Homo-oligomer: A and B are copies of this chain.
Amino acid sequence: MCEANAYVIKNGEEEIYLEAVDILRPEGKNIYLRNIFGEQKVFRGKIKEMSLLNHKILLEEEKE
């Protein structure tokens, strides 16, 4: 399966945000994510980088 894990960078460390992500959809200042188990989350921030071969999505919180 080709899902990827989404991580948030906090204080320079990668922290898991949602595992096994299938769908990503930017919506204004948020990112809607849904994983293969049907779990949905809305992240306040943006995509920093993704590597599909590494199954990795890096998210960055919005700077206030």
On A, residues with C-beta under 8 Å from B are: 1-4, 21-26, 36, 46-53, 55
Contacts and interface: CB of A to CB of B under 8 A. Distances in A.
Given A2-B52, A2-B53, A47 B24 contact: yes
A26 to B, nearest CB: 6
14 contacts: A1-B53, A2-B52, A2-B53, A2-B55, A4-B52, A21-B52, A22-B51, A22-B53, A23-B49, A24-B47, A24-B49, A25-B50, A26-B47, A52-B52
Contacts of A24: 47, 49-50, 52
A52 B23 CA distance: 7
Given A22-B51, A22-B53, 9 more contacts: A1-B53, A2-B4, A3-B52, A4-B52, A21-B52, A22-B52, A23-B50, A24-B52, A36-B53
